[in-house]
Amino acid sequence: MATVYETVIGLEVHVELATETKMFCGCPTAFGAPPNTQVCPVCLGLPGSLPVPNARAIAYALKAALALECEIDPECRWDRKNYHYPDLPKGYQITQYARPLARSGHLRFSITETNGDTVDREVRIRRLHMEEDTGKSTHEGLPGTSTGVDLNRAGVPLIEIVSEPDIRTPEEARVYLQALRTLLLYTGVSDVKMEEGSLRCDANVSVRPVGEDTLGVLVEIKNMNSFRSVQRALEFEVNRQVDLLQSGGRIVRETRHWDDRREITFSSRSKEEAHDYRYFPEPDLGPCDLTPAFVEQTRQSLPELPTAKCQRYISLGLSGYDASVLAMDPPLASFFDAMLRAGGAPRESAALLTVELLGRLNATGIAIHDPACRVTPSALAELQKLVADGTINGKIAKEVLDEMVQTGATARTVVENRGLRQVSDEGAILEAVRSVLTANPVEVADYRDGKEKLFGFLVGQVMKATRGKANPALVNAVLRRELQGRSE
């Protein structure tokens, strides 16, 4: 029998912090500025320059660490990681090695299975530390044998978040990364855009026979530039490793790069010098000094985070799936919370928002937090209340929403202007029912002969006769009564 293999994945995620200035100097950090226009002696590594840590960068890193439920080291320290590369002008990166800012955290998230059930997962965070980013190298549009170096990014504050090898499938790796992104979006410490490189992910992957405790040979995967490519790259790599083992081969410990176009990982053939970073304490910087009061104040400043939000929504009666869809999307969750504050009923509001409003916005490519979205949370909550109190029925609500999306009018205005109030006057409905029964003698006869499905057809005719405004429950009751009366 063929050996069954288990996948073991750990992720290393780099996140650029959304500060105005760099980690150790006052250079701006704007994305997309012309090359080498945001540099100074500190980030150029010129002799005599000295680093001074950015207070906000440390506060942001701490906030992220607390959101990940980490233990904080208030006296964390800085180290030098030494290596030579043109995008690293000092010849070392200032990072944290022996005493990182934070350790032992957790990220909780849920995965939706193919049958629609959601499964709660928890991945442990080994460490979170602060460091500075490197510059950028480019080869395009340059003479054949040269590399261009732009140091605008050199010194931009980063946090590196290292997970324990708790991830078991490529899909789970993608969902972990998306959950991490959402969490960081809530904290506001980064804009976490993979396409702009403010969120970057490397993976350590190995496989082992099920039941084996020791880890297989680790392969590091780099250059995964989207959530999709994280999953695709890991799927490819896991298959490659299992195939190799099953055909009697051996896995080599190496770094492989993901090629998004060819959809393969390939070995970076650069001579694999043993990484020897010769870390030592950064002599230019003292230890951090995070007071208990500062840590506590930062903890208090955290907003409601996705897991808590999801729990709250479930306690309000939402399904696990709906709760998670809302909680994992900060603008959507904030819209929903505003609907609740405006008095919307939770389940009905969630349905109106995620199915009806989002469906209409998606069709026109408008985001919920876009100014082009003309429906406000209170207007949508009002629409929900108009349905709840019987002013309009659910079908008419969809028509009203169409107009709200187009014109930005409130629900009540649309209902009044277009005379869409639900008809709950039994006399008017009885009149409509009778004329429908008279106009459709064949269907009525067939219904009496047992074709019960025709009841729906007759309801439809009544709704049509009232231009959709009749109270459906009342139509049902009156129609049934009339049909019974006539059959006797």
Partner 1 sequence: MLTKEQVRQVAALARVRASDDELTGYVAELGRILDHVARLQEVDTEGMPPTSRALEQRGILREDMPQVPLLRETVLANAPDERHGMFLVPRVVEE
Binding site for partner 1 (CB under 8 A): 19-21, 25-28, 34-41, 44, 52-58, 75, 77, 82, 84-86, 137-139, 141-151, 257, 266, 268-270, 276, 278, 281, 283, 286-289
Please, what is the minimum distance in Å from the beta carbon of residue 78 to partner 1? 9
Which residue, 115 or 270, has its beta carbon nearer to partner 1?
270
Query: Which residue lies nearer to partner 1 by CB, 237 or 356?
Result: 237
Measured CA to CA, the distance from residue 316 to residue 310 in angstroms comes to 10
Number of C-beta neighbours around residue 267 at 10 A: 12
Minimum distance of partner 1 from residue 66's CB (angstroms) = 19
Shortest spacing between CB 65 and partner 1, in angstroms: 17
Q: How far is the CB of 254 from partner 1 (least distance, A)?
A: 13
Min dist CB 204 to partner 1, Å, is 19
| Residues 55, 63: Cα–Cα separation, whole Å | 12
Looking up tokens 């790599």 gives 237
- The angle, 0 to 180 degrees and rounded to 10, between the axes of the packed helices 394-407 and 377-388 is 160
Nearer to partner 1, 198 or 324 (CB): 198
Pull the structure tokens for residue 368: 């919920």
Torsion, Cα of 51, 54, 58, 64 (10° steps)? -120
We find the least distance from the C-beta atom of residue 171 to partner 1, in angstroms, to be 28
360 in Cβ contact with 405 (< 8 Å): yes
Residue 102, Cα to own-chain centre: how many angstroms? 23
Question: 């590091």: which residue's tokens?
Answer: 220
Least Å from the CB of residue 59 to partner 1: 9
Residue with smaller CB distance to partner 1, 236 or 258: 258
- Identity of the residue, 171 or 259, whose beta carbon is nearer to partner 1 in the bound complex: 259
| Residue number, 87 or 164, with CB nearest to partner 1 | 87
Report the residue number, 82 or 112, with the smaller CB distance to partner 1: 82
89 to each of 17, 46, 82, 98, 264, how far by Cα in Å? 21, 8, 11, 23, 32
Dihedral, CA atoms, 386, 392, 393, 399, nearest 10 degrees?
Answer: -100
Between residues 31 and 266, which has the closer beta carbon with respect to partner 1? 266
Contact between 326 and 296 (Cβ < 8 Å): no
Give CA–CA dist 386/407, Å, rounded. Answer: 19
Tokens of 448: 């009496």
What is d(CA 10, CA 438) in angstroms, rounded to the nearest whole number?
Answer: 72
Question: Structure tokens of 307?
Answer: 């897991």
CB of 83 to partner 1, least distance (A): 8
Q: Please give the Cα distance from 17 to 60 (Å, whole number).
A: 7
Shortest Å, Cβ 89 to partner 1: 9
Min dist CB 77 to partner 1, Å, is 7
Q: Which is nearer to partner 1, 35 or 468 (CB)?
A: 35
User: What is the rounded distance in angstroms from the CA atom of residue 454 to the CA atom of residue 436?
Assistant: 13
Q: Which is nearer to partner 1, 53 or 408 (CB)?
A: 53
How far apart, in whole angstroms, are the C-alpha atoms of residue 196 and residue 188?
17
Please give the Cα distance from 421 to 416 (Å, whole number). 7
Q: How far is the CB of 184 from partner 1 (least distance, A)?
A: 18
- Whose Cβ is closer to partner 1: residue 230's or residue 288's? 288
Q: What is the rounded distance in angstroms from the CA atom of residue 353 to the CA atom of residue 360?
A: 10
